[in-house]
Structure 1
Protein backbone atom coordinates (compact mmCIF):
# COMPACT_ATOMS: atom_id res chain seq x y z
CA UNK A 1 0.00 0.00 0.00
CA UNK A 2 1.50 3.31 -1.06
CA UNK A 3 1.78 6.46 0.97
CA UNK A 4 -1.32 8.57 0.46
CA UNK A 5 -0.73 11.81 -1.41
CA UNK A 6 -1.74 14.94 0.51
CA UNK A 7 -3.43 17.56 -1.53
CA UNK A 8 -1.89 21.03 -1.06
CA UNK A 9 -2.74 23.42 -3.88
CA UNK A 10 -0.35 26.09 -2.53
CA UNK A 11 2.67 23.94 -3.30
CA UNK A 12 1.34 22.31 -6.44
CA UNK A 13 1.31 25.54 -8.39
CA UNK A 14 4.29 27.86 -8.53
CA UNK A 15 3.44 31.45 -7.49
CA UNK A 16 3.69 33.63 -10.58
CA UNK A 17 6.00 36.13 -8.86
CA UNK A 18 8.53 33.51 -7.67
CA UNK A 19 10.72 33.33 -10.81
CA UNK A 20 10.83 37.12 -10.93
CA UNK A 21 11.75 37.28 -7.22
CA UNK A 22 14.50 34.65 -7.53
CA UNK A 23 15.95 36.39 -10.56
CA UNK A 24 16.72 39.49 -8.50
CA UNK A 25 17.30 37.98 -5.03
CA UNK A 26 20.87 37.10 -4.17
CA UNK A 27 20.85 35.49 -0.67
CA UNK A 28 24.57 36.05 -0.10
CA UNK A 29 24.41 39.67 -1.18
CA UNK A 30 21.29 40.44 0.88
CA UNK A 31 22.65 38.70 3.99
CA UNK A 32 25.81 40.78 3.74
CA UNK A 33 23.72 43.94 3.39
CA UNK A 34 21.57 43.21 6.43
CA UNK A 35 24.57 42.12 8.49
CA UNK A 36 26.35 45.36 7.60
CA UNK A 37 23.32 47.36 8.75
CA UNK A 38 23.24 45.35 11.98
CA UNK A 39 26.91 46.09 12.66
CA UNK A 40 26.34 49.78 11.92
CA UNK A 41 23.48 49.83 14.42
CA UNK A 42 25.65 48.21 17.09
CA UNK A 43 28.46 50.68 16.35
CA UNK A 44 26.02 53.61 16.62
CA UNK A 45 24.73 52.37 19.98
CA UNK A 46 28.28 51.89 21.29
CA UNK A 47 29.34 55.29 19.98
CA UNK A 48 26.31 56.93 21.60
CA UNK A 49 27.02 55.31 24.96
CA UNK A 50 30.70 56.27 24.74
CA UNK A 51 29.76 59.87 23.89
CA UNK A 52 27.30 59.92 26.77
CA UNK A 53 29.85 58.57 29.23
CA UNK A 54 32.52 61.04 28.08
CA UNK A 55 30.26 64.10 28.22
CA UNK A 56 28.90 63.22 31.67
CA UNK A 57 32.44 62.83 32.99
CA UNK A 58 33.46 66.18 31.49
CA UNK A 59 30.35 67.81 32.97
CA UNK A 60 31.33 66.56 36.44
CA UNK A 61 34.85 67.83 35.90
CA UNK A 62 33.56 71.24 34.78
CA UNK A 63 31.33 71.40 37.86
CA UNK A 64 34.28 70.73 40.15
CA UNK A 65 36.23 73.46 38.36
CA UNK A 66 33.18 75.79 38.54
CA UNK A 67 33.19 76.20 34.76
CA UNK A 68 29.43 76.10 34.45
CA UNK A 69 29.10 77.28 30.84
CA UNK A 70 31.17 74.28 29.75
CA UNK A 71 29.19 72.03 32.09
CA UNK A 72 26.03 73.16 30.31
CA UNK A 73 27.52 72.45 26.86
CA UNK A 74 28.45 68.92 27.91
CA UNK A 75 24.98 68.16 29.23
CA UNK A 76 23.33 69.73 26.17
CA UNK A 77 25.25 67.20 24.08
CA UNK A 78 23.91 64.39 26.26
CA UNK A 79 20.35 65.73 26.08
CA UNK A 80 20.51 65.90 22.27
CA UNK A 81 21.24 62.16 22.12
CA UNK A 82 17.48 61.79 22.74
CA UNK A 83 17.92 59.34 25.60
CA UNK A 84 16.02 59.05 28.85
CA UNK A 85 18.43 60.79 31.23
CA UNK A 86 19.36 59.22 34.55
CA UNK A 87 18.69 61.06 37.81
CA UNK A 88 22.36 62.03 37.96
CA UNK A 89 22.30 63.37 34.39
CA UNK A 90 19.12 65.37 35.02
CA UNK A 91 20.68 66.94 38.08
CA UNK A 92 23.91 67.78 36.25
CA UNK A 93 21.93 69.53 33.53
CA UNK A 94 19.84 71.41 36.09
CA UNK A 95 22.80 72.45 38.25
CA UNK A 96 24.74 73.68 35.24
CA UNK A 97 21.93 75.88 33.97
CA UNK A 98 21.05 77.08 37.48
CA UNK A 99 24.56 78.38 37.98
CA UNK A 100 24.79 79.94 34.52
CA UNK A 101 21.49 81.77 34.87
CA UNK A 102 21.71 82.33 38.63
CA UNK A 103 24.73 84.61 38.34
CA UNK A 104 22.96 86.74 35.72
CA UNK A 105 19.71 86.90 37.69
CA UNK A 106 21.68 88.19 40.66
CA UNK A 107 23.44 90.76 38.44
CA UNK A 108 20.12 91.91 37.01
CA UNK A 109 18.63 92.46 40.48
CA UNK A 110 21.65 94.47 41.62
CA UNK A 111 21.62 96.64 38.49
CA UNK A 112 17.87 97.23 38.72
CA UNK A 113 18.20 98.30 42.34
CA UNK A 114 21.07 100.71 41.60
CA UNK A 115 19.21 102.07 38.57
CA UNK A 116 16.17 102.88 40.71
CA UNK A 117 18.35 104.65 43.27
CA UNK A 118 20.07 106.74 40.60
CA UNK A 119 16.69 107.69 39.10
CA UNK A 120 15.38 108.71 42.52
CA UNK A 121 18.43 110.96 42.95
CA UNK A 122 17.85 112.51 39.53
CA UNK A 123 21.12 111.16 38.10
CA UNK A 124 19.73 110.57 34.61
CA UNK A 125 23.10 110.03 32.89
CA UNK A 126 24.09 107.31 35.36
CA UNK A 127 20.64 105.75 35.15
CA UNK A 128 20.96 105.58 31.36
CA UNK A 129 24.35 103.89 31.59
CA UNK A 130 22.96 101.31 34.00
CA UNK A 131 19.92 100.73 31.80
CA UNK A 132 22.12 99.90 28.80
CA UNK A 133 24.21 97.54 30.91
CA UNK A 134 21.07 95.92 32.36
CA UNK A 135 19.68 95.33 28.87
CA UNK A 136 22.88 93.48 27.96
CA UNK A 137 22.32 91.15 30.92
CA UNK A 138 18.68 90.71 29.88
CA UNK A 139 19.80 89.58 26.42
CA UNK A 140 22.04 86.97 28.04
CA UNK A 141 19.20 85.82 30.30
CA UNK A 142 16.80 85.52 27.37
CA UNK A 143 19.33 83.49 25.35
CA UNK A 144 19.93 81.04 28.21
CA UNK A 145 16.20 80.58 28.83
CA UNK A 146 15.45 80.09 25.13
CA UNK A 147 18.28 77.57 24.94
CA UNK A 148 17.14 75.29 27.77
CA UNK A 149 13.45 75.60 26.89
CA UNK A 150 14.20 74.32 23.38
CA UNK A 151 16.19 71.41 24.83
CA UNK A 152 13.30 70.53 27.15
CA UNK A 153 10.63 70.66 24.45
CA UNK A 154 12.58 69.02 21.63
CA UNK A 155 14.61 66.37 23.47
CA UNK A 156 13.94 65.89 27.18
CA UNK A 157 10.15 65.67 27.43
CA UNK A 158 9.79 63.49 24.28
CA UNK A 159 12.46 61.08 25.61
CA UNK A 160 11.20 60.83 29.21
CA UNK A 161 9.69 57.49 30.21
CA UNK A 162 8.84 58.00 33.88
CA UNK A 163 6.45 60.17 35.83
CA UNK A 164 9.33 61.51 37.91
CA UNK A 165 11.21 62.70 34.80
CA UNK A 166 8.05 64.24 33.33
CA UNK A 167 7.43 66.25 36.50
CA UNK A 168 11.08 67.30 36.64
CA UNK A 169 11.11 68.65 33.08
CA UNK A 170 7.77 70.45 33.27
CA UNK A 171 8.86 72.03 36.57
CA UNK A 172 12.11 73.11 34.92
CA UNK A 173 10.12 74.54 32.02
CA UNK A 174 7.98 76.53 34.46
CA UNK A 175 11.10 77.82 36.21
CA UNK A 176 12.74 79.18 33.06
CA UNK A 177 9.60 80.85 31.77
CA UNK A 178 9.33 82.40 35.25
CA UNK A 179 12.88 83.74 34.91
CA UNK A 180 11.86 85.35 31.61
CA UNK A 181 8.81 86.91 33.27
CA UNK A 182 11.07 88.44 35.95
CA UNK A 183 12.60 90.95 33.53
CA UNK A 184 10.27 91.04 30.52
CA UNK A 185 7.65 93.79 30.27
CA UNK A 186 4.16 94.29 28.85
CA UNK A 187 2.94 91.53 26.49
CA UNK A 188 6.24 89.62 26.61
CA UNK A 189 5.94 89.35 30.38
CA UNK A 190 2.32 88.23 30.12
CA UNK A 191 3.22 85.56 27.55
CA UNK A 192 6.11 84.23 29.66
CA UNK A 193 3.89 84.15 32.76
CA UNK A 194 1.20 82.21 30.89
CA UNK A 195 3.71 79.65 29.64
CA UNK A 196 5.18 79.31 33.13
CA UNK A 197 1.73 78.74 34.62
CA UNK A 198 0.91 76.06 32.02
CA UNK A 199 4.17 74.23 32.69
CA UNK A 200 3.75 74.34 36.48
CA UNK A 201 0.15 73.11 36.15
CA UNK A 202 1.24 70.24 33.89
CA UNK A 203 3.95 69.31 36.39
CA UNK A 204 1.48 69.50 39.30
CA UNK A 205 -1.03 67.25 37.52
CA UNK A 206 1.65 64.63 36.84
CA UNK A 207 3.09 64.94 40.36
CA UNK A 208 -0.27 64.37 42.07
CA UNK A 209 -0.61 61.10 40.13
CA UNK A 210 2.95 59.77 39.98
CA UNK A 211 4.81 61.11 43.03
CA UNK A 212 4.12 60.87 46.78
CA UNK A 213 3.56 64.11 48.68
CA UNK A 214 6.96 63.71 50.37
CA UNK A 215 8.94 63.31 47.13
CA UNK A 216 11.65 66.01 46.83
CA UNK A 217 10.70 66.86 43.23
CA UNK A 218 7.03 67.28 44.13
CA UNK A 219 7.93 69.45 47.13
CA UNK A 220 10.39 71.48 45.02
CA UNK A 221 7.67 72.00 42.44
CA UNK A 222 5.27 73.31 45.10
CA UNK A 223 7.99 75.63 46.42
CA UNK A 224 8.76 77.16 43.02
CA UNK A 225 5.13 77.25 41.89
CA UNK A 226 4.23 79.18 45.04
CA UNK A 227 7.12 81.61 44.36
CA UNK A 228 5.63 82.11 40.88
CA UNK A 229 2.26 83.05 42.40
CA UNK A 230 3.92 85.42 44.85
CA UNK A 231 6.46 87.18 42.62
CA UNK A 232 5.01 86.97 39.10
CA UNK A 233 1.24 86.95 39.64
CA UNK A 234 1.42 89.16 42.77
CA UNK A 235 -0.84 86.78 44.66
CA UNK A 236 0.45 86.12 48.19
CA UNK A 237 -2.80 84.41 49.21
CA UNK A 238 -2.54 81.78 46.48
CA UNK A 239 1.19 81.42 47.15
CA UNK A 240 0.52 80.77 50.84
CA UNK A 241 -2.30 78.33 50.09
CA UNK A 242 -0.15 76.28 47.72
CA UNK A 243 2.87 76.23 50.03
CA UNK A 244 0.80 75.35 53.11
CA UNK A 245 -1.08 72.58 51.31
CA UNK A 246 2.17 70.98 50.12
CA UNK A 247 3.71 71.30 53.59
CA UNK A 248 0.68 69.83 55.37
CA UNK A 249 0.37 66.92 52.94
CA UNK A 250 4.05 66.08 53.38
CA UNK A 251 3.82 66.29 57.19
CA UNK A 252 0.91 63.84 57.13
CA UNK A 253 3.02 61.31 55.21
CA UNK A 254 6.34 61.99 56.92
CA UNK A 255 6.51 58.50 58.44
CA UNK A 256 6.55 56.99 54.94
CA UNK A 257 9.56 59.05 53.84
CA UNK A 258 12.43 56.93 52.54
CA UNK A 259 15.82 57.29 54.17
CA UNK A 260 17.53 58.28 50.91
CA UNK A 261 15.25 61.28 50.30
CA UNK A 262 14.70 62.30 53.95
CA UNK A 263 17.36 65.03 53.95
CA UNK A 264 16.24 66.62 50.65
CA UNK A 265 12.54 66.47 51.49
CA UNK A 266 12.84 67.94 54.98
CA UNK A 267 15.09 70.73 53.68
CA UNK A 268 12.48 71.76 51.09
CA UNK A 269 9.75 71.54 53.72
CA UNK A 270 11.76 73.96 55.84
CA UNK A 271 12.02 76.34 52.86
CA UNK A 272 8.25 76.12 52.37
CA UNK A 273 7.75 77.03 56.02
CA UNK A 274 10.24 79.90 55.80
CA UNK A 275 8.41 81.33 52.79
CA UNK A 276 5.07 80.97 54.55
CA UNK A 277 6.43 82.95 57.49
CA UNK A 278 7.73 85.65 55.14
CA UNK A 279 4.58 85.83 53.03
CA UNK A 280 2.10 85.73 55.89
CA UNK A 281 3.56 88.98 57.19
CA UNK A 282 2.96 90.48 53.73
CA UNK A 283 -0.73 89.63 53.51
CA UNK A 284 -2.94 92.77 53.58
CA UNK A 285 -5.39 92.94 56.45
CA UNK A 286 -8.39 93.03 54.08
CA UNK A 287 -7.33 89.72 52.52
CA UNK A 288 -6.48 91.23 49.12
CA UNK A 289 -3.68 90.12 46.86
CA UNK A 290 -1.60 93.30 46.78
CA UNK A 291 1.92 92.66 48.01
CA UNK A 292 3.63 94.90 50.52
CA UNK A 293 7.15 96.04 49.75
CA UNK A 294 9.65 93.45 50.92
CA UNK A 295 13.36 93.24 50.16
CA UNK A 296 13.82 89.63 51.29
CA UNK A 297 13.69 87.14 48.42
CA UNK A 298 11.68 83.94 48.93
CA UNK A 299 13.55 80.65 48.84
CA UNK A 300 13.53 78.52 45.68
CA UNK A 301 14.32 74.90 44.92
CA UNK A 302 17.64 74.67 43.09
CA UNK A 303 17.17 71.36 41.27
Structure 2
Protein backbone atom coordinates (compact mmCIF):
# COMPACT_ATOMS: atom_id res chain seq x y z
CA UNK A 1 0.00 0.00 0.00
CA UNK A 2 1.49 3.33 -1.11
CA UNK A 3 1.46 6.53 0.94
CA UNK A 4 -1.56 7.95 -0.88
CA UNK A 5 -3.59 4.77 -0.61
CA UNK A 6 -2.75 4.54 3.10
CA UNK A 7 -3.87 8.13 3.72
CA UNK A 8 -7.16 7.55 1.90
CA UNK A 9 -7.74 4.33 3.86
CA UNK A 10 -6.99 6.10 7.16
CA UNK A 11 -9.37 8.88 6.14
CA UNK A 12 -12.16 6.35 5.63
CA UNK A 13 -11.43 4.83 9.04
CA UNK A 14 -11.47 8.29 10.62
CA UNK A 15 -14.83 9.01 8.99
CA UNK A 16 -16.28 5.78 10.37
CA UNK A 17 -14.96 6.68 13.82
CA UNK A 18 -16.24 10.27 13.42
CA UNK A 19 -12.72 11.60 14.04
CA UNK A 20 -13.00 14.39 11.51
CA UNK A 21 -9.96 16.35 12.70
CA UNK A 22 -7.83 13.31 11.83
CA UNK A 23 -9.66 12.95 8.54
CA UNK A 24 -8.78 16.55 7.67
CA UNK A 25 -5.08 15.92 8.33
CA UNK A 26 -5.05 12.87 6.06
CA UNK A 27 -6.99 14.46 3.19
CA UNK A 28 -5.10 17.75 3.39
CA UNK A 29 -1.93 15.80 2.59
CA UNK A 30 -3.65 14.00 -0.29
CA UNK A 31 -4.97 17.28 -1.69
CA UNK A 32 -1.44 18.59 -2.25
CA UNK A 33 -0.27 15.41 -3.97
CA UNK A 34 0.00 14.74 -7.69
CA UNK A 35 -2.02 13.72 -9.59
CA UNK A 36 -5.15 15.68 -8.70
CA UNK A 37 -7.72 14.06 -6.44
CA UNK A 38 -10.12 11.46 -7.79
CA UNK A 39 -13.88 11.80 -7.29
CA UNK A 40 -13.70 9.57 -4.22
CA UNK A 41 -10.79 11.54 -2.78
CA UNK A 42 -12.32 14.96 -3.35
CA UNK A 43 -15.53 13.79 -1.67
CA UNK A 44 -13.55 12.57 1.35
CA UNK A 45 -11.71 15.89 1.38
CA UNK A 46 -15.00 17.80 1.33
CA UNK A 47 -16.67 15.59 3.95
CA UNK A 48 -13.71 15.98 6.31
CA UNK A 49 -13.71 19.76 6.26
CA UNK A 50 -17.51 19.96 6.17
CA UNK A 51 -17.82 18.17 9.49
CA UNK A 52 -15.05 20.15 11.16
CA UNK A 53 -16.30 23.53 9.93
CA UNK A 54 -19.91 22.54 10.64
CA UNK A 55 -19.13 22.00 14.32
CA UNK A 56 -17.32 25.34 14.54
CA UNK A 57 -20.16 27.19 12.83
CA UNK A 58 -22.70 25.63 15.18
CA UNK A 59 -20.61 26.64 18.21
CA UNK A 60 -20.22 30.19 16.94
CA UNK A 61 -23.95 30.57 16.33
CA UNK A 62 -24.78 29.33 19.84
CA UNK A 63 -22.33 31.77 21.41
CA UNK A 64 -23.52 34.58 19.15
CA UNK A 65 -27.15 34.03 20.09
CA UNK A 66 -26.72 33.28 23.78
CA UNK A 67 -26.92 36.53 25.71
CA UNK A 68 -27.27 34.84 29.07
CA UNK A 69 -29.76 35.64 31.79
CA UNK A 70 -30.59 39.24 32.67
CA UNK A 71 -29.23 40.35 36.02
CA UNK A 72 -30.92 43.46 37.31
CA UNK A 73 -29.64 43.37 40.88
CA UNK A 74 -27.02 46.09 41.37
CA UNK A 75 -24.82 43.68 43.32
CA UNK A 76 -24.66 41.43 40.28
CA UNK A 77 -23.65 44.05 37.70
CA UNK A 78 -19.95 43.30 38.05
CA UNK A 79 -20.60 39.61 37.64
CA UNK A 80 -22.59 40.29 34.49
CA UNK A 81 -19.76 42.42 33.05
CA UNK A 82 -17.28 39.63 33.79
CA UNK A 83 -19.55 37.09 32.14
CA UNK A 84 -19.80 39.19 28.99
CA UNK A 85 -16.04 39.62 28.86
CA UNK A 86 -15.48 35.91 29.35
CA UNK A 87 -18.02 35.06 26.67
CA UNK A 88 -16.47 37.53 24.21
CA UNK A 89 -13.01 36.01 24.70
CA UNK A 90 -14.34 32.49 24.18
CA UNK A 91 -16.38 33.50 21.14
CA UNK A 92 -13.31 35.17 19.61
CA UNK A 93 -11.40 31.93 20.13
CA UNK A 94 -14.03 29.93 18.25
CA UNK A 95 -14.20 32.62 15.57
CA UNK A 96 -10.43 32.47 15.14
CA UNK A 97 -10.54 28.70 14.71
CA UNK A 98 -13.35 29.04 12.19
CA UNK A 99 -11.45 31.60 10.15
CA UNK A 100 -8.29 29.49 10.24
CA UNK A 101 -10.11 26.48 8.80
CA UNK A 102 -11.76 28.56 6.09
CA UNK A 103 -8.48 30.10 4.99
CA UNK A 104 -6.78 26.70 5.06
CA UNK A 105 -9.41 25.23 2.74
CA UNK A 106 -9.32 28.26 0.45
CA UNK A 107 -5.53 28.00 0.13
CA UNK A 108 -5.85 24.34 -0.84
CA UNK A 109 -8.61 25.08 -3.36
CA UNK A 110 -6.54 27.86 -4.94
CA UNK A 111 -3.68 25.42 -5.41
CA UNK A 112 -5.95 22.75 -6.87
CA UNK A 113 -7.69 25.12 -9.27
CA UNK A 114 -4.31 26.39 -10.40
CA UNK A 115 -3.46 22.86 -11.55
CA UNK A 116 -6.93 21.71 -12.63
CA UNK A 117 -7.33 20.55 -16.24
CA UNK A 118 -9.25 23.20 -18.19
CA UNK A 119 -11.45 20.44 -19.64
CA UNK A 120 -12.38 18.96 -16.26
CA UNK A 121 -15.72 20.76 -16.01
CA UNK A 122 -17.25 18.67 -13.25
CA UNK A 123 -14.22 19.05 -10.98
CA UNK A 124 -14.01 22.79 -11.55
CA UNK A 125 -17.70 23.23 -10.72
CA UNK A 126 -17.14 21.22 -7.53
CA UNK A 127 -14.08 23.19 -6.42
CA UNK A 128 -15.38 26.66 -7.32
CA UNK A 129 -18.62 25.87 -5.50
CA UNK A 130 -16.63 24.76 -2.47
CA UNK A 131 -14.60 27.96 -2.69
CA UNK A 132 -17.82 29.98 -2.69
CA UNK A 133 -19.06 28.03 0.34
CA UNK A 134 -16.00 28.77 2.47
CA UNK A 135 -15.99 32.45 1.56
CA UNK A 136 -19.67 32.45 2.54
CA UNK A 137 -18.79 30.98 5.94
CA UNK A 138 -16.30 33.81 6.40
CA UNK A 139 -18.99 36.31 5.44
CA UNK A 140 -21.17 34.98 8.25
CA UNK A 141 -18.65 36.01 10.91
CA UNK A 142 -16.93 39.10 9.48
CA UNK A 143 -17.95 42.75 9.32
CA UNK A 144 -17.25 46.00 7.48
CA UNK A 145 -14.58 46.02 4.75
CA UNK A 146 -13.41 42.49 5.53
CA UNK A 147 -16.94 41.24 4.98
CA UNK A 148 -17.31 43.16 1.72
CA UNK A 149 -14.19 41.45 0.37
CA UNK A 150 -15.19 37.89 1.28
CA UNK A 151 -18.76 38.44 0.04
CA UNK A 152 -17.38 39.55 -3.31
CA UNK A 153 -15.04 36.54 -3.43
CA UNK A 154 -17.91 34.19 -2.60
CA UNK A 155 -20.14 35.65 -5.29
CA UNK A 156 -17.40 35.51 -7.93
CA UNK A 157 -16.62 31.88 -7.05
CA UNK A 158 -20.28 30.85 -7.24
CA UNK A 159 -20.71 32.72 -10.52
CA UNK A 160 -17.63 31.07 -12.04
CA UNK A 161 -18.92 27.68 -10.94
CA UNK A 162 -22.35 28.46 -12.39
CA UNK A 163 -20.91 29.40 -15.79
CA UNK A 164 -18.94 26.14 -15.98
CA UNK A 165 -21.89 24.11 -14.67
CA UNK A 166 -23.80 24.83 -17.89
CA UNK A 167 -21.73 22.03 -19.41
CA UNK A 168 -23.39 19.60 -16.98
CA UNK A 169 -26.94 18.31 -17.35
CA UNK A 170 -29.65 20.05 -15.31
CA UNK A 171 -30.12 16.98 -13.12
CA UNK A 172 -26.45 16.60 -12.21
CA UNK A 173 -26.16 16.60 -8.40
CA UNK A 174 -23.13 18.92 -8.38
CA UNK A 175 -24.96 21.47 -10.52
CA UNK A 176 -28.05 21.22 -8.31
CA UNK A 177 -25.96 21.48 -5.12
CA UNK A 178 -24.31 24.59 -6.49
CA UNK A 179 -27.68 26.20 -7.23
CA UNK A 180 -28.88 25.32 -3.73
CA UNK A 181 -25.88 26.91 -2.00
CA UNK A 182 -25.78 29.91 -4.33
CA UNK A 183 -29.45 30.62 -3.60
CA UNK A 184 -28.75 30.38 0.16
CA UNK A 185 -25.91 32.88 -0.35
CA UNK A 186 -28.30 35.33 -2.01
CA UNK A 187 -30.89 34.87 0.73
CA UNK A 188 -28.71 34.85 3.86
CA UNK A 189 -25.67 36.91 2.92
CA UNK A 190 -26.89 39.42 0.31
CA UNK A 191 -30.46 39.55 1.63
CA UNK A 192 -31.78 39.30 -1.92
CA UNK A 193 -34.83 37.10 -1.49
CA UNK A 194 -36.13 37.53 -5.02
CA UNK A 195 -32.80 36.52 -6.56
CA UNK A 196 -32.50 33.56 -4.19
CA UNK A 197 -35.89 32.29 -5.29
CA UNK A 198 -35.01 32.88 -8.94
CA UNK A 199 -31.82 30.79 -8.72
CA UNK A 200 -33.49 27.97 -6.78
CA UNK A 201 -36.59 27.87 -9.00
CA UNK A 202 -34.58 27.89 -12.23
CA UNK A 203 -32.50 24.93 -11.04
CA UNK A 204 -35.54 23.01 -9.80
CA UNK A 205 -37.63 23.62 -12.94
CA UNK A 206 -34.69 22.72 -15.20
CA UNK A 207 -34.16 19.43 -13.39
CA UNK A 208 -37.87 18.58 -13.48
CA UNK A 209 -37.90 18.98 -17.26
CA UNK A 210 -35.03 16.53 -17.65
CA UNK A 211 -36.01 14.13 -14.89
CA UNK A 212 -36.45 11.28 -17.36
CA UNK A 213 -32.75 11.57 -18.31
CA UNK A 214 -31.56 11.28 -14.69
CA UNK A 215 -28.90 8.61 -14.38
CA UNK A 216 -29.60 5.85 -11.90
CA UNK A 217 -26.38 6.41 -9.92
CA UNK A 218 -27.34 10.07 -9.37
CA UNK A 219 -31.03 9.54 -8.67
CA UNK A 220 -30.84 9.59 -4.85
CA UNK A 221 -28.51 12.62 -4.64
CA UNK A 222 -30.28 14.66 -7.30
CA UNK A 223 -33.81 14.09 -6.02
CA UNK A 224 -32.71 14.90 -2.46
CA UNK A 225 -31.26 18.25 -3.53
CA UNK A 226 -34.35 18.99 -5.60
CA UNK A 227 -36.42 18.44 -2.46
CA UNK A 228 -34.18 20.83 -0.52
CA UNK A 229 -34.54 23.44 -3.25
CA UNK A 230 -38.31 23.12 -3.08
CA UNK A 231 -38.28 23.27 0.74
CA UNK A 232 -36.31 26.52 0.67
CA UNK A 233 -38.59 28.00 -1.97
CA UNK A 234 -41.60 27.16 0.20
CA UNK A 235 -39.97 28.75 3.24
CA UNK A 236 -38.84 31.87 1.40
CA UNK A 237 -42.18 32.49 -0.29
CA UNK A 238 -43.90 32.00 3.07
CA UNK A 239 -41.57 34.62 4.54
CA UNK A 240 -42.47 37.01 1.74
CA UNK A 241 -46.19 36.45 2.25
CA UNK A 242 -45.90 37.11 5.99
CA UNK A 243 -43.97 40.30 5.28
CA UNK A 244 -46.70 41.45 2.91
CA UNK A 245 -49.45 40.56 5.36
CA UNK A 246 -48.23 42.13 8.57
CA UNK A 247 -44.63 43.25 8.15
CA UNK A 248 -43.33 40.78 10.73
CA UNK A 249 -42.31 37.76 8.65
CA UNK A 250 -41.50 34.31 9.98
CA UNK A 251 -38.92 33.77 12.66
CA UNK A 252 -35.53 33.53 10.98
CA UNK A 253 -34.45 29.95 10.26
CA UNK A 254 -31.21 28.47 9.06
CA UNK A 255 -31.50 27.46 5.41
CA UNK A 256 -30.70 23.96 4.26
CA UNK A 257 -27.60 23.55 2.18
CA UNK A 258 -25.52 20.85 0.57
CA UNK A 259 -21.77 20.81 1.10
CA UNK A 260 -20.91 17.71 -0.88
CA UNK A 261 -22.42 14.72 -2.62
CA UNK A 262 -21.46 11.46 -0.99
Q: Matched residues in 2 for 1:254 and 1:59: separation? A: 34
Report what 1:94 is aligned to.
Answer: 46
The C-alpha deviation readout for 1:78-116, integer Å capped at 9, x for no partner, is: 11113221111010000000001000000011111103x
- Partner Cα distance (1:203, 1:124) in 2: 46
Aligned residues: 251
Q: Does residue 1:110 correspond to 2:68, yes or no? A: no
Q: Is the 8 A contact 2:21 2:48 kept in 1?
A: yes
Q: Secondary structure of 2:36's match?
A: coil
Contact preservation (8 Å) 1:105, 1:141: yes
- Deviations along 1:97-153, whole A, 9 cap, x unmatched? 0001000000011111103x5589894443332222111111000000010100010
Q: Identify the range of structure 1 (120-129 vs 180-189) with the bigger mean alpha-carbon deviation.
A: 120-129
Is the Cα–Cα contact under 8 Å of residues 83 and 159 in structure 1 kept in the other structure? no
Is the alpha carbon distance of 1:120 and 1:196 closer, same or farther for their aligned partners in structure 2, counting shifts above 3 Å? Answer: farther
Alignment correspondent of 1:72: 24
Structure 1 residues 103 and 83: CA distance shift in structure 2, 3 A:
same
Question: Which of 77, 81, 85 lines up with 2:33 in the alignment?
Answer: 81
Find the structure with the greater CA-based Rg.
1
Q: What does residue 228 of structure 2 align with? A: 271
Of 181, 185, 195, which residue of structure 2 is paired with 1:238? 195
**2:139 aligns with one of 158, 181, 195:** 181
2-structure distance, mates of 1:124, 1:294: 29
The alignment yields a C-alpha RMSD, in angstroms, of: 2.2
Q: 1:298 aligns with which of 248, 255, 260?
A: 255
2:22 equivalent to 1:61: no
- Taking a change above 3 Å as real, the CA distance of residues 50 and 114 of structure 1, as seen in their structure-2 partners, is same
Report 1 or 2 for greater relative contact order, CA contacts < 8 Å, sequence distance ≥ 6. Answer: 2
Distance 1:94 1:56 in 2: 13
Q: Deviations over 1:65-89 (max 9, x none)?
A: 1111110111111111132211110
* Structure 1 residue 286, shift from structure 2 partner: 8.4
Among 204, 216, 223, the alignment partner of 1:247 is 204
Q: What does residue range 125-144 of structure 1 map to in structure 2 within 5 Å?
A: 125-144=82-101
Distance 1:120 1:243, change over 3 A: farther
Q: 1:294, CA displacement in angstroms?
A: 2.8
Shift of 1:247: 0.3
> Is contact 1:157–1:166 with CA below 8 Å preserved after alignment?
no
Match of 1:50 in 2: 2
Query: Which range moves more in the overlay, 213-222 or 120-129?
Result: 120-129
Q: Distance in 1 between matches of 2:195 and 2:242?
A: 15
Q: Which runs of 5+ in 2 are unaligned?
A: none
For 2:129, the equivalent position in structure 1 comes to 171
Unaligned runs of 5+ in 1: 1-48
